[in-house]
Structure 1
Amino acid sequence: MSELTVQPVAGKADRRAFVDFAWTAYAGDPAWIPPLKSEVHALLDPRENPWFGHGRAQLFLARRDGAVVGRISAQVDELVQERMPATGQWGFFDALDGEAAAALIVAAEDWLRGQGMARALGPISLSIWDEPGLLIEGFDEPPMVMMGHHRPEYRAWIEAAGYAKARDLLTFALDIRIDMVPLIDRLIQAGARNPRIRIRDVDKARFDAEAAIILDILNDAWSDNWGFVPLTPAEIAYAGKKLKPIIIADLVKIAEYDDGAGFKPAAFMITIPDVNSMIADLDGRLLPFGWAKLLWRIRKVATTRVRVPLMGVRKAYQSSRLASQFAFMLIEYTRRVCVGKYGIHHGEFGWVLEDNQGMMSIAELPGAGINHRYRVFEKTL
């Protein structure tokens, strides 16, 4: 019988094999979008990703007869420990069969125990801000940018290892050419008449400052959410650098509110073109011509799909009517630009925690429906 081994990643060759294994795991899957290899390598590199300023990780490869048949990461985030003590995580989970899957999960759990962890959450790759959750519904539709795709078998393999549901994360799809329903439209129109509310585009000429404003609101707005980990200043700068090339100024909006002491940022919504549809034919490579293709496609907004990966309203307003007003004004003003200027017709919101009642109001938008469901699993170690 062929022998299965699981070993820690050691050296550049192993790291390349770890990244490249995705091409083996999803060979022939029409819904899988090959990620840019340079982006995955940067995410896993402590010299580039500031997550490693408060986190540590170990990567593992499973091999059978010398061939890679699976991969997994195990990680401990010190910022997670402040909210979920003794909780470690694992991610980048892919395997060709149940035996490899089981052995990989055991290796990740053993490493987490060695780090003093008593509970495991997964899959999370590497943090809640990257690609959290396992796809359990929506296998036929390719994921949008910054969302994951997985094989249907993975759920049973994870549950067989003793894991149960912690939370579900949802994405909503909608045809944005459909006008708002009258009730929501009246709320938007009332906001438009309110001189204390204004909605503006992000200013790319001062992008670093704008990114800091947006992520400051995000840290405040999401701070009570399950799984939340604050972004550090270094991560805010890193996120801004990564997002800037794909930001279209009039698709990123900030709501400002005059609280009696002048206008201050109160809410934001980031809408980005679906870069996945722009890189699908690059096979993970930017060289020799991938960069030129991608930059041209972004500049021309060469997609009919957009995603809202991040949206937030400051906690001070979340229990008031203003929260809904800000949110729906941001959505509607962006919708008009998408449809009228860029000819975009398909939008996706998410992910949204299934128990986030405020954000679940997205389901009230005309034509909206859940198109993907991702599950984060948990287990006591």
Structure 2
Amino acid sequence: MTINIRPVASNQDLRRFVLFPHALYRECPWWVPNLISDEIKLLTKGRHPFHEHADAALFLAEENGKIVGRISAHVNHNHNKFHGDRVGFFGFFDCADSCEAACALFDKAAEFVQSKGMDTLRGPMNFSTNETCGLLVNSFNEMPYIMMPYNFPYYENLLESARFSKSKDLVCYHLDESIFSFERIGKLAQRVQERSGMALREVDMNRLKDEMKILRDIYNSAWEKNWGFIPMTDAEFDFMAHELKPVADSRLLYIAEHRGEPVGFIICLPDFNLVLKKTNGRLFPFGILKALWWKRKIRRIRIITMGIKPEHRRAGLDLVFYAKIAQVSPTIGYPEGELGWVLEDNYLMNRAAQKMGARLSKRYRIYDRKIP
């Protein structure tokens, strides 16, 4: 078989790139499409702030004129400036079960980042740890939560056949009422609050611009020592706020204050993947009506991220946040959820989840390949 790799060079090509997974996963009950319009926006230079500090290229793999795979190759200059290394990335990888096609795509991605002076190819990153990332390596028979990827089991073999090795695992924990109960952790959290003087408040959606500045400052302070972290620019944070506002519920968004100073936050979102699955990633012409219908049937949340300033990290604030979500979420219609992702070697976060009795449910892997 002859595999041809060609760049995405037109709007028509971009649409083919975005729609390829729809064909690949057509018979898969677990895969969830992204919102097509949002993915096109993310991939288009000038429409997403990621491209202000990155070089990116998109490629399609074809066999006899039929698309059999896709990949992005990108250099995030903010990452390399922050970490002092020369890492290029691949993302948006989808491929038929063909080592030849996959290797050709990875070789093209490596060629692109090498031309920019990089010595390592890392991924999958769509486009960074601030968006979706990781390759699912277990639990293939369940639907992913919002902003988490899904892939076929054979993808792991495709990467290993292309000389990739594990760089880091990201883990997720399953939560339900039997585990994530306020009765279980509420009293302990109350004692922590009384001892530390911490107060929680909802994010004020009417002052979202001001609130996002607070969240951004905490996020960049809290995460700066984490593996793979890249500080978010003002434009990226504002863009994310705009994109997530339609699915956010202020009753699941909290800021912690100590003596009036914001020191931490937790962000949880209703699992909008149910809606994306039912609308097949399309809002027009009838997707909006479907979305409004299925949105009422969402019963899961994802704890997307939590940030605590370093000087308050050992005060038990993580427990206070978890207790608040455990208290609120079942009363507003969300009896189960997912915590993650968490770096596999983030001792404090993993210990907190395990102490609650949360079940390790999914594992996502980031891979590296040295160039050449």
Please indicate the TM-score interval, normalised by the length of the shorter structure.
over 0.9
Spell out, residue by residue over 1:2-49, the C-alpha distance to the aligned partner (whole angstroms, 9 max, x if none): 421001111111111100101122121111012210111011011211
Q: Distance in 2 between matches of 1:297 and 1:27?
A: 20
Contact kept in structure 2, 1:174 and 1:366, CA below 8 Å: no
**Structure 2: gaps of 5 or more residues:** none
Identify the residue that residue 363 of structure 1 maps to in structure 2. Answer: 353
Pairwise mapping of residues 213-252 of structure 1 onto structure 2 (< 5 A)? 213-252=214-253
> 3-state SS of the aligned residue for 1:137?
coil
Q: Distance in 2 between matches of 1:13 and 1:337?
A: 45
**Structure 1: gaps of 5 or more residues:** none
The Cα of 1:78 is off from its aligned counterpart by 0.5
Q: Distance in 1 between matches of 2:130 and 2:362?
A: 17
Contact kept in structure 1, 2:182 and 2:326, CA below 8 Å: no
Pairing 1:379–2:358 present? no
Letter in 2 for 1:115: K
The Cα of 1:276 is off from its aligned counterpart by 0.2
The Cα of 1:186 is off from its aligned counterpart by 4.2
Q: Distance in 2 between matches of 1:201 and 1:180?
A: 18
Letter in 2 for 1:335: A
Pairing 1:95–2:92 present? no
Identify the residue that residue 311 of structure 2 maps to in structure 1. Answer: 316
Q: Distance in 2 between matches of 1:177 and 1:247?
A: 25
Identify the residue that residue 40 of structure 1 maps to in structure 2. Answer: 39
Contact kept in structure 2, 1:175 and 1:367, CA below 8 Å: no
Q: Distance in 1 between matches of 2:261 and 2:142?
A: 39
The Cα of 1:240 is off from its aligned counterpart by 0.9
Contact kept in structure 1, 2:182 and 2:327, CA below 8 Å: no
The Cα of 1:99 is off from its aligned counterpart by 1.2
Q: Distance in 1 between matches of 2:191 and 2:219?
A: 25
> 3-state SS of the aligned residue for 1:93?
strand
Identify the residue that residue 76 of structure 2 maps to in structure 1. Answer: 77
> 3-state SS of the aligned residue for 1:57?
strand
Identify the residue that residue 275 of structure 1 maps to in structure 2. Answer: 272
Letter in 2 for 1:375: R
Letter in 2 for 1:157: L
Identify the residue that residue 211 of structure 1 maps to in structure 2. Answer: 212
Identify the residue that residue 105 of structure 1 maps to in structure 2. Answer: 106
Contact kept in structure 2, 1:181 and 1:365, CA below 8 Å: no
Pairing 1:12–2:2 present? no
The Cα of 1:243 is off from its aligned counterpart by 1.3
Q: Distance in 2 between matches of 1:283 and 1:189?
A: 43
The runs of at least 4 aligned residues of structure 1 exceeding 6 Å deviation read none
Contact kept in structure 2, 1:180 and 1:365, CA below 8 Å: no
Contact kept in structure 2, 1:62 and 1:68, CA below 8 Å: yes
The Cα of 1:292 is off from its aligned counterpart by 3.7
> 3-state SS of the aligned residue for 2:32?
coil
> 3-state SS of the aligned residue for 1:330?
helix
Spell out, residue by residue over 1:303-333, the C-alpha distance to the aligned partner (whole angstroms, 9 max, x if none): 1100011111011212x3x1x2x11111111
Question: Which of residues 299, 302, 305 in structure 1 aligns to 2:300?
Answer: 305
Q: Distance in 2 between matches of 1:130 and 1:174?
A: 23
Aligned residues between the structures: 368
Letter in 2 for 1:246: V
Contact kept in structure 2, 1:145 and 1:307, CA below 8 Å: yes
Identify the residue that residue 177 of structure 2 maps to in structure 1. Answer: 176
Question: Which of residues 335, 341, 352 in structure 1 aligns to 2:326?
Answer: 335
Range with greater deviation from structure 2 (346-355 or 360-369): 360-369
Identify the residue that residue 86 of structure 1 maps to in structure 2. Answer: 86
The Cα of 1:84 is off from its aligned counterpart by 4.4
Spell out, residue by residue over 1:94-137, the C-alpha distance to the aligned partner (whole angstroms, 9 max, x if none): 11122111110111111111111111111111111111111101
Contact kept in structure 1, 2:202 and 2:251, CA below 8 Å: yes
Letter in 1 for 2:304: P
Residues 296 and 257 of structure 1: is their aligned pair in 2 closer, same or farther, counting only changes over 3 Å? farther
> 3-state SS of the aligned residue for 1:281?
helix
Residues 231 and 21 of structure 1: is their aligned pair in 2 closer, same or farther, counting only changes over 3 Å? same
The Cα of 1:169 is off from its aligned counterpart by 0.4
- TM-score, reference length from structure 1: 0.93
Give the CA RMSD over aligned residues.
1.6
Q: Distance in 1 between matches of 2:120 and 2:364?
A: 20
